[in-house]
Amino acid sequence: MAVRLNRKLELQEALQIADGAGGFTKTWSSLGTLWAELEPGSGSESADQLLTLSSVPYRITVRGAPDGAPSRPKPDQRFIEGSRVFRILAVTERDLDGRYLICFTREEVAS
């Protein structure tokens, strides 16, 4: 099946920055832009007293990159598209030649 890389996503990595009071804050650093194909899975919803969290898994396909390359996504990184955030859970090769990678992600929206 042909891959349609028709979505422009920003790849980001978490950084811990000293907060000056002995602790750290998490900030996100851009690693670049990747063209991707998004395939949604089935969603779920959970709620507590103050918050409802909707969660949808996505398979995001991007071009392959060698291990260690900054353009190769890794777990605990994320993709950004506008206000949407896709947390990367796992990454594997889509084909034997490594031309494409599949990133298993989860988009979470609080309401």
What pLDDT shows up at residue 33?
96
What pLDDT shows up at residue 4?
94
Q: Which residues contact 74 (CB under 8 A, 6 or more apart)?
A: 88, 91
What pLDDT shows up at residue 47?
59
pLDDT digits (tens, 9 = 90+) for 32-87: 999 999 999 875 556 566 665 677 899 999 999 988 899 999 999 999 999 899 99
Round to the nearest angstrom and report the end-to-end CA distance of the chain. 36
List domains and CATH numbers for the chain.
Answer: 7-110 (2.40.10.270)
Q: How many CB atoms lie within 10 A of CB 9?
A: 24
The two tokens of residue 16 are 């811990």
Check whether 95 has a pLDDT greater than 80: yes
Q: Which amino acid is at 16?
A: Q
The two tokens of residue 27 are 């900030």
Q: Which residues pair with 69 in a beta bridge?
A: none
With tokens 């084909």, the residue in question is 95
The two tokens of residue 28 are 């996100």
